[in-house]
Amino acid sequence: MIGLFKVKEKQREEAKNTNSRGASVKKQSAGELRLHKDITELNLPESCTISFPNGKNDLMNFEVTIKPDEGYYKNGKFVFTFQVSSVYPHEAPKVKCITKVYHPNIDLEGNVCLNILREDWKPVLNINTVIYGLFHLFTEPNYEDPLNHDAAAVLKTNPKQFETNVRRAMGGGYVGNTSFPRCI
């Protein structure tokens, strides 16, 4: 194996040539490459749009806007932030809902209870799957995995009341003591 070091001087010369490039080209992470591929392959329903607030040089942080076209949340507009780390897809993206929403699976701080974002994340999943998962939360909110207790209890026992509450919240009103911004 000593042969590896035989041509050390030659390597030095090589280094001189690569030097200029080393400075200009920043190392990309394998995660970043995979993310870029994921992004070009997005195949989203019309109700979901993606945007890049930091421009084309930062695709690791982006926003997804979901406007459900059916269900309790029809015509609402909900914005999620995605933070993707350099270990993606080894780790799931970090997702937060920055629109305050009355929802059994999203708490008032924007934490989202979606299995594929935590316990069921697999590297074969991608950004598209996550966005579909979020979209699904609005068409079929689920009282069995509650993050917002109260909303889950109402959905379970009185769906009519739940619907009224959702409408009120999206219209910029109060549900109980909590005020919600208008998002419709």
Partner 1 sequence: MADLEAPQSKSRDLDKLLLRAGNLVGPDFYPGTEVKALISQLSIVSSSFSDFVIRLLSLRVLVVGAGGLGCELLKDLALSGFRNLDVIDMDRIEVTNLNRQFLFRLEDVGKPKAEIAAKRVMERVSGVEIVPHFSRIEDKELEFYNNFNIIALGLDSIEARRYINGVACGFLEYDEDDTPRRETIKPMVDGGTEGFKGHARVIVPGVTPCFECTIWLFPPQVKFPLCTLAETPRNAAHCIEYAHLIKWHEVHGGKSFDPDEPEHMKWVYDEAVKRAELFGIPGVTYSLTQGVVKNIIPAIASTNAIISAACALETLKIVSGCSKTLANYLTYNGGEGLHTKVTEFVRDKDCLVCGPGILIELDTSVTLQKFIDMLEEHPKLLLSKASVKHGKDSLYMQAPPVLEEMHRPNLSKSLYDLMGRVQKDTVHVFGTALKNEEKQSSLTKLRVVFKGADGVADMDTAIGA
Nearer to partner 1, 45 or 171 (CB): 45
The DSSP annotation for 119-153 comes to TT--TT--HHHHHHHHHHHHHS--TTS-SSHHHHH
Is residue 155 within 8 Å of 103, Cβ to Cβ? no
Beta carbon of residue 53, minimum distance to partner 1 (angstroms, whole number): 11
Cβ atoms < 10 Å from Cβ of 113? 17
Beta carbon of residue 158, minimum distance to partner 1 (angstroms, whole number): 20
Nearer to partner 1, 55 or 160 (CB): 55
Is residue 125 within 8 Å of 131, Cβ to Cβ? no
Residues of the shown chain interacting with partner 1 in the complex, contacts defined by CB under 8 A = 1-11, 14-15, 17-34, 36-37, 39-42, 50-52, 55-56, 59, 85-87, 90-92, 105, 107-113, 115, 118-119, 121-123, 145-147, 149
Nearer to partner 1, 101 or 167 (CB): 101
Is residue 106 within 8 Å of 16, Cβ to Cβ? no
Q: Is 183 a catalytic residue?
A: no
Beta carbon of residue 133, minimum distance to partner 1 (angstroms, whole number): 13
Q: Catalytic amino acids?
A: 113
